[in-house]
Structure 1
Amino acid sequence: MKTLLATLALPLALLAAPLAHADTLDALKSALSGTTSLQGRFTQTVSQHKGKPQQSAGDFAIQRPGKFRWAYATPYEQLIVGDGSEVWLYDPDLRQATVKSMGNALESSPAALLAGDNALEKNYLIKPLASKNGVDWFEAKPRQEDAGFSNIRLGLKNGQVVEMELVDRFEQLTRIRFDGVKRNARLDASLFRFTPPKDVDVVRE
């Protein structure tokens, strides 16, 4: 799969800028418990120590619990679909689809912030960060050592997540900006189902 499949992650819209750790956690729990779906657009930039940053853009949809769709439109098409029990990664250029169980790994990844349960304290160490350019930031560090990302930062403005930064174990930085986010809209169930087209190689992990 191409390197643009850098993350399965999307944050949930949060309700208020945190003033202290307890306030931050309460706001996160409140937002998660009150959010059933999210839908919108994203722009993603992946930066490495060497080489030109890779930029991509597309649409996303989330239906809690456990269902999500992360669709790249540019510079080429790719699709990630979580149906509640399995995750499909589809690359139409390669004519290949990879499928694997969500399993316990999802609960210790950033994807838990979008489609998992509300057990944030179990999976993350959370603390508020300094505000920058009108955006309030907080940090969520996975407690599990083998999580895909070593550091997650969410940026809030006017009570909604507008940016996300993720650092992986190789210090690769992924920045995501969100736009046109709709919260708790009715979403078509077909968004979270994937059937491989004919003549596509399916790899199970």
Structure 2
Amino acid sequence: MTRLTRRALALGLAALPLPALAARPAIAPLTADDRALVDKASAYLQGLTEAKGRFVQTDARGTTTQGTVYLKRPGKARFAYEAPSGLLVVADGANVSVADSRLKTFDRYPLMATPLSIFLARQIKLDKGVVISDVTRLADGFTITARDGKKQAEGQITLTFSNSPMALIGWTVSDAQGQATRIRLTGLERASGLAPTLFVLNDPRPKSVGRARM
């Protein structure tokens, strides 16, 4: 897999240049029941200040990888992939850093240029500054599809929740071409006192290595 492909598939976090989405179809207004689910999801995410669990990622090619995830709102997350992936993705509150120990690469992007900023925000209001394009009911939960209303982040994210218990169980990040990266969460539980060092990722390469980004 090329560096560009691996970088683009790192949880859909990489803010790669994408075509403008000016031709988006009109979005139907949310029903009262839809808004109730959006409010329910917003309240849950607002209360999810610290959490940890496991994740399984499936990319557009069907390749799966897994690892451990840590979340600390506002703005912080850590996705530690298991071998042989070699990827480590860290959001520090301002930027998202992607280190690849196999390819010996390091890239950094503004957090606000990624769809994940939607649910890592300090104040989560899924009806404020976010465009909700779809709310779908499932047999045991529901999904909410959203994109950045300010258009700082291209693509969209679909958050998946379970009803009993109410929990975030995954998400799908789609780019402008429809390529999707899916994350399934298992054992996500609230945590407290997560070490600040979990959310710090500096360029691990020697200073002599060129650091120009693609």
TM score, norm. by length of structure 2: 0.74
Note the 1:37-76 alignment, pairs <5 A: 37-47=50-60, 52-76=61-85
Name 1:79's counterpart in structure 2.
Answer: 88
Note the 1:1-205 alignment, pairs <5 A: 1=3, 2=6, 3-8=8-13, 20-47=33-60, 52-102=61-111, 104-106=112-114, 109-121=115-127, 122-125=129-132, 127-132=134-139, 134-145=140-151, 147-150=153-156, 152-158=158-164, 159-199=166-206, 201-203=210-212
The C-alpha deviation readout for 1:75-133, integer Å capped at 9, x for no partner, is 4120111112222110111212112333x424xx233213453232212316431313x
Structure 1 residues 136, 152: closer, same or farther in 2, change over 3 A? closer
Alpha-carbon distance in 2 for matches of 1:119, 1:135: 20
In structure 1, give the amino acid aligned to 2:146. A
Alpha-carbon distance in 2 for matches of 1:151, 1:112: 8
Taking only aligned residues, the RMSD between alpha carbons, in angstroms, comes to 2.7
User: CA shift at 1:189, angstroms?
Assistant: 0.8
User: CA shift at 1:203, angstroms?
Assistant: 3.8
Matched residue pairs, number? 188
Structure 1 residues 83, 203: closer, same or farther in 2, change over 3 A? farther
| Structure of greater relative contact order (alpha carbons < 8 Å, 6+ residues apart) | 1
5+ residue gaps, structure 2, are 15-31
The C-alpha deviation readout for 1:31-75, integer Å capped at 9, x for no partner, is 23322112111001112xxxx411111111111111111222144
Structure 1 residues 28, 57: closer, same or farther in 2, change over 3 A? same
Structure 1 residues 94, 189: closer, same or farther in 2, change over 3 A? same
Contact 1:66–1:115 (8 Å) recurs in 2: yes
Work out the percentage of aligned pairs sharing the same amino acid. 26
Going by fraction, where is strand more abundant, 1 or 2?
1
Contact 1:41–1:180 (8 Å) recurs in 2: yes
Structure 1 residues 120, 136: closer, same or farther in 2, change over 3 A? closer
**Greater alpha carbon shift after TM alignment, 121-130 vs 73-82:** 121-130
